[in-house]
Amino acid sequence: MPTMKLMNPFRCRMWKLHDRLDAHINEATCRAEIASFEGHGQLVAVLGRTLQGDGDHDVELITGARRLFVARHLNQPLMVELRTLTDKEALIAMDSESRLRKDISPYERALSYARWLRSGFFKSQDDIARALKVSPSQVSRILKLAQLPAVVVQAFANPTEIREEWGRCLLTILEDRAGRQALLDTARAVIAKPDRLPAHEVYRQLLHGAAQGRKLKIQRHDVVVRGADGSALFRIRHLRDTVALLLPLENVGERALRDISEAVAAVLRAGSAQVNDSGRIAGSKLEVKRAARRAGKRARHPAEDGVQPAPT
């Protein structure tokens, strides 16, 4: 049975597999928690288990790294819920609490999941998904953030501010050789600046720098974009100074053209220097795919868009 106990915070230590970045737990990042402790006391107990054979500590904390810092900072007792847990049970309990509190960052969770796999507690991403009762795709999506190069992570003053959608966009750019080099060079330039930039500005500069370094491979022949059924949706034609999208006029109505125009505009805005928000690249890519599907559907059923099929 769980036991609630007030503990000396200096006799508590964090578990080596806890999911916080220790370097970013300090008075500045814990300002809200400090104010809450001072005004209302500790509202949520931390989770721990009793230690044996450690002369300096009595309890190992599974959760509560920030609350432990605050208790030590204020020199106040720490309320601990003591349980008997295996390491695997502790990992699951830690992740469950973090997701309920919604204050663990995607990047921290990605590093945590990667450690779980390296440590052998879980054999695969699917194993983690089953244990946490989440979809395998959700685990895979989060884990990818752990692949961000160190120089990109270091460009952010606090990596816990890296949003999941930012990470996905940056990883997509890193798959392109020219885009990768430009992104890494931009990250180094951001790190070299005398003042640390806000997270959203770092992300904007990384996108802009990557866009400047990516070169378009000129195609000699039209590129045909096809739908899921293999039918041609449109063509991409490379001209001297421009790229043209060739749509079958007889099968495309005004609504499809409007959807495609908005999607293309969103992609171009996302790649420009004016990008300053997180969801545009990922969202605009998704919109292009959706627009293509909508265009393909209307090409097969043009009457839905107010356009009659061309006579045969």
Question: What pLDDT score does 240 carry?
Answer: 63
Whole-number Å distance between alpha carbons of 308 and 311: 9
Query: Could you tell me which residues come within 8 angstroms of residue 217 by beta carbon, excluding any fewer than 6 positions away?
Result: none
Question: What pLDDT score does 278 carry?
Answer: 38
Question: What pLDDT score does 218 carry?
Answer: 61
Q: What is the pLDDT of residues 197-235, one digit of tens each?
A: 999 999 999 988 887 765 556 667 888 888 777 778 888
Structure tokens at 134: 């989440």
Question: What pLDDT score does 50 carry?
Answer: 92
Residues of the chain under the 70 pLDDT cut? 1, 98-103, 213-219, 240-241, 267-312
- Domain spans, the chain: 3-86, 148-213, 223-305
Q: What is the pLDDT of residues 119-140, one digit of tens each?
A: 888 889 999 998 888 898 889 9
Locus of tokens 């009595």: 58
Does the domain at 3-86 match CATH 3.90.1530.10? Answer given as yes
Question: What pLDDT score does 145 carry?
Answer: 92
